[in-house]
């Protein structure tokens, strides 16, 4: 990506231009990649490389509803760029040069931070009030599909869109790492919602990645983390220790 273009976007684009640029970026990531990802899963399944998790197919109606909710979420995601660019313009965050190492490390760090951020937001969403009024939108997808990834109530979409904003004031990143992070994030999200997994539900921990979030969609409990099981294990351990002290 052209360095000059990146700096023109950050320092010279109006906030309205930034909003629409972000809107169309997320729009392309969702409507452009989801069908391709789905086709790749079907092809891999035909070769015996991945396996379907839930046999029950999502209905066409469910997918239509997911696409409508996702469009609303994309409208919300458009706003996420505004405070991020404001931080950059007011020198409240340090920007690193766009070297390959800075880009790769930046995306990895944002993905790690997302795991903690998602766990916290997701735990809050399972408080009965938020479950009833907000998170139930995402759980309408009992059998998740690639189209479930952005299918949120607007308030949940707003909370989830603060991943870069909540770390940028404290950690320096390269602009391209921040720009590419939504692409890495949506690919991870497609893997966790596509209803396919490697193997048949047993084996190495990383192979079970897609299984847990799929199971969470149908059971409504456990597995509040996304890609990893570590924070679930840790919070269970802390809860057990706390209960045994009482
Ligand atoms: Zn989900
Ligand atoms: Zn949930």
Q: Which ligand is nearest to the CA of 213?
A: 1
Nearest ligand, measured from the Cα of 212? 1
Of all ligands present, the nearest one to the C-alpha of 214 is 1
The CA-CA-CA angle for residues 84, 90, 96, to 5°, reads 65
Tokens of 74: 């994309």
pLDDT, tens digit, for every residue of 51-110?
898 888 899 999 999 999 999 999 999 999 999 999 999 999 999 999 999 999 999 999
Please name which of 18, 87, 162, 181 lies closest in space to residue 95, comparing C-alpha atoms.
87
Domain span at 95: 3-245
Ligand number, closest to the Cα atom of 146: 1
Q: What is the pLDDT of residue 134?
A: 97
CA of 115 to the centre of ligand 2 (A): 14
DSSP string, 168-192: TTTS-B-HHHHHHHHHHHHHHHHHH
Task: Please give the pLDDT value at position 177.
Answer: 96
> What pLDDT score was predicted for residue 63?
95
CB atoms within 10 A of CB 212: 20
CA distance 133 to 130: 5
Question: Residues 124-155: pLDDT tens digits?
Answer: 999 999 999 999 999 999 999 999 999 999 99
pLDDT of residue 219: 80
Cβ distance 21 to 9 under 8 Å?
A: yes
Place of tokens 């998170």: 135
pLDDT band, very low/low/confident/very high, at 207 (cuts 50, 70, 90): low
Which ligand is in closest contact with the Cα of 193?
Answer: 1
- How far does the centroid of ligand 1 lie from the alpha carbon of residue 105, in Å? 26
Give the global pTM: 0.91
Burial label for 160, CB within 10 Å (0-12, 13-18, 19+), is buried
Confidence check: pLDDT of 197 > 90? no
Ligand nearest to the CA of 223: 2
- Residue 141 alpha carbon to ligand 1 centre in Å: 8
Strand 196-198 relative to strand 50-52, pairing: antiparallel
Q: What is the DSSP letter of 76?
A: H
Residue corresponding to tokens 């309205």:
16
Taking the CA atoms of 231, 233, 238 and 243 in sequence, report the sign of the dihedral they define: positive
Structure tokens at 217: 């969609």
Residue 198: enclosing H or E segment and its boundaries? strand 196-198
95 DSSP β-pair partners: 173
Total domain count, the chain: 1
């Amino acid at each position: 990506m052209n360095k000059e273009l990146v700096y023109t976007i950050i320092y010279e684009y109006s906030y309205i231009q930034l909003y629409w640029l972000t809107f169309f970026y997320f729009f392309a990531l969702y409507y452009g990649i989801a069908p391709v990802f789905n086709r790749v899963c079907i092809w891999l399944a035909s070769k015996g490389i991945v396996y379907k998790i839930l046999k029950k197919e999502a209905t066409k109606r469910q997918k239509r509803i997911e696409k409508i909710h996702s469009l609303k979420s994309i409208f919300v995601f458009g706003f996420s760029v505004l405070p991020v660019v404001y931080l950059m313009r007011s020198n409240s965050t340090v920007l690193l040069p766009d070297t390959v190492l800075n880009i790769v490390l930046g995306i990895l760090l944002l993905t790690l931070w997302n795991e903690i951020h998602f766990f916290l937001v997701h735990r809050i969403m399972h408080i009965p009030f938020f479950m009833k009024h907000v998170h139930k939108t995402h759980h309408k997808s009992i059998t998740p599909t690639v189209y479930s990834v952005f299918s949120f109530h607007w308030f949940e979409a707003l909370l989830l869109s603060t991943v870069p904003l909540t770390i940028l004031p404290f950690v320096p990143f390269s602009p391209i790492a921040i720009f590419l992070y939504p692409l890495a994030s949506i690919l991870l999200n497609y893997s966790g919602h596509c209803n396919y997994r490697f193997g048949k539900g047993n084996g190495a921990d990383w192979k079970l990645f897609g299984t847990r979030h799929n199971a969470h969609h149908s059971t409504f409990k456990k597995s509040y983390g996304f890609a990893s099981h570590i924070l679930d294990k840790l919070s269970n351990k802390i809860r057990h220790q706390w209960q045994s002290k009482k």
